């Protein structure tokens, strides 16, 4: 019998990936292409949506070619993506009206402040589960409508469409036939009521955004249209924001189970079941997934800069040539040196939500060199995760036994061991660290009837467990140093 496959498109912040899984759920091949990051001004981050589509299309064709698979053998496509990143395009020409504003972009911070001053915080939290922050799509849409020539009048005439990257890719893949998204991506716009599973008219009015721009919202496993590859119509059958897809792919189906994904940013999500749980400690509430119209909720700690700090070591400081060198360098760092890097390059996300914090390095001495800076940068990922875990345990009343991890940076054994040490919790790395792509593939495979929840749990295998070894005094002292460092970066731009 000819083998069949599910194809996952993983449209991340720094690269477009296509990942091929066989019928048994085994990862067969990955194709990946980085694309350009545009930083036109401090705090601004943009992507060219056309480049995103082109790279995504190229890696899709490449993965099939490299593995010798024909389009006819692909039974379904799942899409997962960097969330919140906002593109607006012309419905007739399909041309974006400007570069996409990336989730990290901070240009709408003053608008967010204005919304807070107008007293919208409680309404936003109650309906969307979010805090008012430039991170989410709503103020990015509003900024484009206000600043791009004729955008508002065109949007009001129904000529412009908004989408996150899933929506954009599906619009392109279906030749402009479908303008759709899924619950989880819609839930990150700050315009979607996650209790009602519907766009919220009042928030749209408050932000002055025409409803006609918005995509239709479907469950995560659904009929999202077809992509015709080599003359074959392949169903796009699963869609979820990358962090939600990873939670699903890591089989976090039970309330209290959690995963942390170490990519450009770091995103820790804990399943809270069918009940929407609001945070008192700086986390956000979000939709976990909803394959068939019934949804699960999650608490999320969004950390804006994680692997991106490692990229800064490579591209900004030129201390390394590739991310993988950081592991050996960190091990060379002097034991006695206590250096802290707070990578608040675009402010701080959970649990601080400070758009005006900026990065800093503390504890430098004459002996500080590249190994110490590299180690402190890696450690900053682990400390930020601890900040989030503390909040999560407090909110949920649960004590986490094991942290499931995935994403590009978990290949780093130094980082994983330090993570276990600083949390005092076991860290569990699966064989397939592409949980995001796997989650999207599963959502698609479930819709076309080849997989079930049981398959997902069965396929997942642990590659390595990192047990905490650090003694309590050392852990407490290092973490206290981190907290002191963070405090000094807060509100930096305002002061």
Ligand X SMILES: Nc1ncnc2c1ncn2[C@@H]1O[C@H](COP(=O)(O)OP(=O)(O)O)[C@@H](O)[C@H]1O
Say if residue 475 carries a ligand binding annotation: no
Distance CA 326, CA 320 (A): 7
| DSSP 8-state assignment for residue 305 | -
Distance CA 438, CA 248 (A): 8
84 sits near ligand G3P (criterion: CB under 6 A): yes
Q: Quick one: what does residue 411 bind among ligand G3P, ligand X, none, with the CB cut-off 5 to 8 Å set by partner type? A: ligand X
Three-state secondary-structure class, residue 366: coil
Cα distances from 274 to residues 23, 122, 410, in angstroms, run 30, 22, 30
Q: Residue 32: how many CB atoms within 10 A of its CB?
A: 16
Distance CA 247, CA 7 (A): 18
> Scanning residues 264 to 323, which ones bind ligand G3P (CB under 6 A)?
264-265
Say if residue 122 carries a ligand binding annotation: no
> Scanning residues 212 to 241, which ones bind ligand G3P (CB under 6 A)?
241
78 sits near ligand X (criterion: CB under 6 A): no
Distance CA 486, CA 348 (A): 9
Nearer to ligand G3P, 250 or 264 (CB): 264
Q: Which residues contact 328 (CB under 8 A, 6 or more apart)?
A: none
Q: Which residue is nearest to ligand G3P (CB)?
A: 263
Q: Quick one: what does residue 243 bind among ligand X, ligand G3P, none, with the CB cut-off 5 to 8 Å set by partner type? A: ligand G3P
Q: Quick one: what does residue 84 bind among ligand X, ligand G3P, none, with the CB cut-off 5 to 8 Å set by partner type? A: ligand G3P
Distance CA 78, CA 66 (A): 19
Distance CA 63, CA 80 (A): 16
Q: Which residues contact 241 (CB under 8 A, 6 or more apart)?
A: 80, 81, 83, 164, 166, 182, 184, 185, 187, 188
Q: Which residues contact 3 (CB under 8 A, 6 or more apart)?
A: 22, 23, 73
Question: Which listed residue (17, 47, 57, 83) binds ligand G3P by CB under 6 A?
Answer: 83
Nearer to ligand X, 97 or 245 (CB): 245
Of the candidate spans 37-45, 55-63, 79-87, 443-451, the one that interacts with ligand G3P by CB under 6 A turns out to be 79-87
Site string for ligand G3P, 246-275 (x = CB under 6 A): -----------------xxx----------
Distance CA 111, CA 3 (A): 52
Q: Which residue is nearest to ligand X (CB)?
A: 408
Nearer to ligand G3P, 226 or 302 (CB): 302
326 sits near ligand X (criterion: CB under 6 A): yes
Nearer to ligand X, 51 or 390 (CB): 51
Write down the H helix ranges in 397-452: 413-423, 435-447
Q: Quick one: what does residue 311 bind among ligand X, ligand G3P, none, with the CB cut-off 5 to 8 Å set by partner type? A: ligand X
Q: Which residues contact 68 (CB under 8 A, 6 or more apart)?
A: none
Q: Residue 293: how many CB atoms within 10 A of its CB?
A: 12
103 sits near ligand G3P (criterion: CB under 6 A): yes
- 271 and 258 Cβ atoms separated by less than 8 Å: yes
Say if residue 326 carries a ligand binding annotation: no
Q: Which residues contact 101 (CB under 8 A, 6 or more apart)?
A: 45, 46, 85, 86, 107, 140, 143, 144
Nearest to 405 by CA among 429, 425, 423, 381: 429
Say if residue 4 carries a ligand binding annotation: no
Q: Residue 433 is encoded by which pair of tokens?
A: 């660290």
Say if residue 243 carries a ligand binding annotation: yes
Site string for ligand X, 141-180 (x = CB under 6 A): ----------------------------------------
Say if residue 84 carries a ligand binding annotation: yes
Nearer to ligand X, 102 or 295 (CB): 102
12 sits near ligand X (criterion: CB under 6 A): yes
430 sits near ligand G3P (criterion: CB under 6 A): no
Burial of 67 (0-12, 13-18, 19+ CB in 10 A): middle
Please state the closest distance from residue 463 (CB atom) to ligand G3P, in A: 20
Nearer to ligand G3P, 371 or 408 (CB): 408
Nearer to ligand X, 204 or 411 (CB): 411
Nearer to ligand G3P, 387 or 421 (CB): 387
Q: Classify the phi-psi angles of 12: left when phi > 0, otherwise alpha if psi is within -120 to 50, otherwise beta.
A: beta
Q: Quick one: what does residue 258 bind among ligand X, ligand G3P, none, with the CB cut-off 5 to 8 Å set by partner type? A: none
Question: Which listed residue (242, 354, 406, 428) binds ligand G3P by CB under 6 A?
Answer: 242
Nearer to ligand X, 4 or 33 (CB): 33
Q: Quick one: what does residue 103 bind among ligand G3P, ligand X, none, with the CB cut-off 5 to 8 Å set by partner type? A: ligand G3P
Question: Which listed residue (70, 228, 324, 452) binds ligand X by CB under 6 A?
Answer: 324
> Scanning residues 395 to 414, which ones bind ligand X (CB under 6 A)?
407-409, 411-412
Binding residues for ligand X, per CB under 6 A?
12-15, 263-264, 307-308, 310-311, 323-324, 326-327, 407-409, 411-412
Binding residues for ligand G3P, per CB under 6 A?
12-13, 82-84, 103, 241-243, 263-265
């Amino acid at each position: 019998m000819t083998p069949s496959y599910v194809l996952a498109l993983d449209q991340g912040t720094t690269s477009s990936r296509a990942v091929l899984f066989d019928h048994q759920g085994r990862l067969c091949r990955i194709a990946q292409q980085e694309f350009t990051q545009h930083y036109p001004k401090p705090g601004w981050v943009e992507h060219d949506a056309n480049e995103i589509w082109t790279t995504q299309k190229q890696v899709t064709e490449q993965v099939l070619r490299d593995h010798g698979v024909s389009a006819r053998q692909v039974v379904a496509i799942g899409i997962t993506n960097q969330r919140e990143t906002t593109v607006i395009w012309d419905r007739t020409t399909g041309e974006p009206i400007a570069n996409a504003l990336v989730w990290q972009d901070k240009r709408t911070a003053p608008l967010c402040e204005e919304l807070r001053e107008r007293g919208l915080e409680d309404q936003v939290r109650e309906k969307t589960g979010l805090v008012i922050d430039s991170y989410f799509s709503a103020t990015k849409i509003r900024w484009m409508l206000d600043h791009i020539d004729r955008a508002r009048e065109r949007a009001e005439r129904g000529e412009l469409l908004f989408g996150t990257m899933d929506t954009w890719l599906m619009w392109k893949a279906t030749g402009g036939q479908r303008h759709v998204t899924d619950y989880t991506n819609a839930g990150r716009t700050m315009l979607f009521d996650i209790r009602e599973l519907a766009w919220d008219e009042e928030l749209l009015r408050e932000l002055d955004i025409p409803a006609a721009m918005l995509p239709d919202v479907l469950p995560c496993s659904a009929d999202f249209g077809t992509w015709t590859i080599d003359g074959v119509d392949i169903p796009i059958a699963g869609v979820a924001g990358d962090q939600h897809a990873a939670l699903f792919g890591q089989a976090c189906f039970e309330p209290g189970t959690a995963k942390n994904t170490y990519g450009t940013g770091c995103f820790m999500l804990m399943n809270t079941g069918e009940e929407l749980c609001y945070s008192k400690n700086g986390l956000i509430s979000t939709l976990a997934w909803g394959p068939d119209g019934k949804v699960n909720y999650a608490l999320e700690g969004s950390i804006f800069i994680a692997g991106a700090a490692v990229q800064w070591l490579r591209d900004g400081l030129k201390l390394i040539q590739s991310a993988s060198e950081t592991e050996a360098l960190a091990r060379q760092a002097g034991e006695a040196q206590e250096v802290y890097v707070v990578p608040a390059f675009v402010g701080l996300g959970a649990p601080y939500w400070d758009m005006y914090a900026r990065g800093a390095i503390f504890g430098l001495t004459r002996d500080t060199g590249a190994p110490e800076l590299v180690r402190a940068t890696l450690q900053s990922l682990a400390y930020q995760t601890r900040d989030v875990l503390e909040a999560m345990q407090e909110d949920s009343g649960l004590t986490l036994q094991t942290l499931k991890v995935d994403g590009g940076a978990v290949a780093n054994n130094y980082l994983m061991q330090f993570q276990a040490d600083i949390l005092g919790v076991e860290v569990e790395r699966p064989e397939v660290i592409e949980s995001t792509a796997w989650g999207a593939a599963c959502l698609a495979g479930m819709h076309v009837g080849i997989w079930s929840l049981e398959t997902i749990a069965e396929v997942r295998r642990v590659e390595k467990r990192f047990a905490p070894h650090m003694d309590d005094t050392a852990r407490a002292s290092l973490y206290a140093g981190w907290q002191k460092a963070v405090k000094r970066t807060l509100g930096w731009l305002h002061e």
